[in-house]
Structure 1
């Protein structure tokens, strides 16, 4: 349980995961989808998710260098868990 809570700690983390559950995203896409997050917070949350093994970071070749983020299989397992939390919160 400690690993799970550690992976989701911090404000905004579940919203980043929510967007990644819809598919892989570039950093700029995430910034547009989550405009309330500062660059520092988004970078921190993505690094936290990668370190926890929930997301992976892929650098694409070419110029400019582009980075894509995707959930790992372990990260995709969070989908039903987070949906249950969001449903509970809506009730």
Structure 2
């Protein structure tokens, strides 16, 4: 039997997710990272209209939310890659369903 959910709590959680994914470029950044980890410049090359300043802000926001993981690779030269956490991959799958819907109906 499913637990009874408080509609106010559920509504607040849904609103929190909407606020995150409705920020410009967030869904495209997540989409870009779905296939494999990428360096900052690679993410930027996939979304050229996105300024580097805004990309940096969005990646930091997604890190704070536990959606993106920043991995510093101690090679020469030092490289930084970004990948999705498990939470990020699950969000990416949910966004893929929205992309599929948009493709079909828009």
TM-score by length of 2: 0.77
Residues 31, 39 of structure 1: 8 Å contact kept:
yes
Which structure 1 residue ranges, 5 or more long, are not aligned? none
Q: 1:18-52 CA distances to partner (integer Å, 9 max, x unpaired)?
A: 01111111111111111111001110111011000
* Aligned-residue RMSD, C-alpha: 1.5
Residue of 83, 95, 101 corresponding to 1:82: 95
Task: Between the two structures, name the one with larger relative contact order (CA 8 Å, sep ≥ 6).
Answer: 1
Residues of 2 paired with 1:44 and 1:9: CA distance? 15
**Number of the residue aligned with 2:3:** none
**Number of the residue aligned with 1:73:** 86
Alignment coverage as a number of residue pairs: 91
Please tell me whether Structure 1 or Structure 2 has the larger radius of gyration of its CA atoms: 2
